[in-house]
Amino acid sequence: MENDLKFSKAIVRKPGKSMVNGLTSSNLGLPDYDKAVEQHNAYVNTLLDCGLTVIELEADENYPDSTFVEDTALLTLSCAIITNPGALSRRGEIVDIKSVVEKYYSDIEEIQSPGTVDAGDIMMVGSHFYIGLSERTNINGAEQVIRILHKYDLTGSTVDLENMLHLKTGLAYLENKNLVVCGEFLGDPAFKDFSIIEIPEVESYAANCVWINDKVIIPAGFPITKQRVSEKGYSVIELDMSEFQKLDGGLSCLSLRF
């Protein structure tokens, strides 16, 4: 495995009022826009506290799920890959994201139909990228990602998903070989060489947490996760994510870190 990398920047997008029309399977009710804005502000402040420069984009009311910027691009140390989101209602999000990413990357690649990819399905572990095959990311899209990665001396492999929305709904890499794992990924031989931090089903939402420069951000209200991640020596920051959870969105989904 590679040396730990340090992120210096993050791209985020403010939630829009249209977020109430976002895709969801959660049955937790409609998100409250004002509360979501507050939670998003707290998220941005936390990224700043972690030492990142935050590029904050204005809300885009045309795309109810556009605050979940993570799905629109894969940002690696060598290149950026603009995805082709699996949900039709999200496909147009990539146009604006591409224009932002172009300011920071000279090597930009794009996934082409019929390939579809949501980058929430891609987990970076050093120079290797695990790509979940989900309802959003198909094999054609995953193979395009792997081909592109090879051009830049990076590697990728696929992981089958049964129930989760995205790969990182149930996995989070915390560097130093530490991997947060929940649900269907527990016991998966693909992850046998990691030091596993198991998240019980009752706290499954907290499996989507984020490592930023040796701090780990987890959603508030998940004491077992907090304890298990803290025990590994990380400084843990908790954020209230209730309004984004209503749209199946987790902490990683709200930013592109690079």
Strand partners, 182: 199
Interface residue with ligand CIR, options 22, 115, 156, 219 (CB under 6 A) = 22
CB of 116 to ligand CIR, least distance (A): 12
Task: Please say which residue, 1 or 18, places its beta carbon nearer to ligand CIR.
Answer: 18
Binding part of the chain for ligand CIR, among 3-11, 152-160, 182-190, 248-256 by CB under 6 A, reads: 248-256
Give the Cα separation of 171 and 179 in Å (integer). 7
Give the Cα separation of 20 and 65 in Å (integer). 9
CB of 106 to ligand CIR, least distance (A): 26
Q: Binders of ligand CIR among 92-121, rule CB under 6 A?
A: 120
197 binds ligand CIR (CB under 6 A): no
Binding part of the chain for ligand CIR, among 18-26, 29-37, 73-81, 155-163 by CB under 6 A, reads: 18-26
Give the Cα separation of 214 and 236 in Å (integer). 9
249 binds ligand CIR (CB under 6 A): yes
CB of 205 to ligand CIR, least distance (A): 11
Total number of residues that touch ligand CIR (CB under 6 A): 18
CB of 24 to ligand CIR, least distance (A): 6
248 binds ligand CIR (CB under 6 A): yes
DSSP string computed for 211-258: EETTEEEEESS-HHHHHHHHHTTPEEEEE--HHHHTTT--TGGG-EE-
Q: Which of 50, 182, 209, 253 is catalytic?
A: 253
Q: Which of 40, 166, 182, 209 is catalytic?
A: 166
Three-state secondary structure call for residue 72: helix
Give the Cα separation of 60 and 15 in Å (integer). 8
Instruction: Give residue 221's region: left, alpha or beta (phi > 0; psi -120 to 50).
Output: left
**Residue 197: half-sphere exposure toward Cβ, Cα within 13 Å:** 29
The encoded tokens of residue 145 equal 């990602």
Interface residue with ligand CIR, options 16, 47, 52, 70 (CB under 6 A) = 70
- Burial pattern 96-110, b for ≥16 Cβ within 10 A else e, equals bbbebbeeebeeebe
166 included as an active-site residue: yes
173 binds ligand CIR (CB under 6 A): no
253 binds ligand CIR (CB under 6 A): yes
Nearest Cα to Cα of residue 240 among 228, 222, 224, 213: 222
50 included as an active-site residue: no
Tell me which residues are annotated as active site.
Answer: 166, 253
Kindly list the residues in this chain that would bind ligand CIR in the complex (CB under 6 A).
22-24, 65, 68, 70-71, 87, 90, 120, 165-166, 169, 247-250, 253
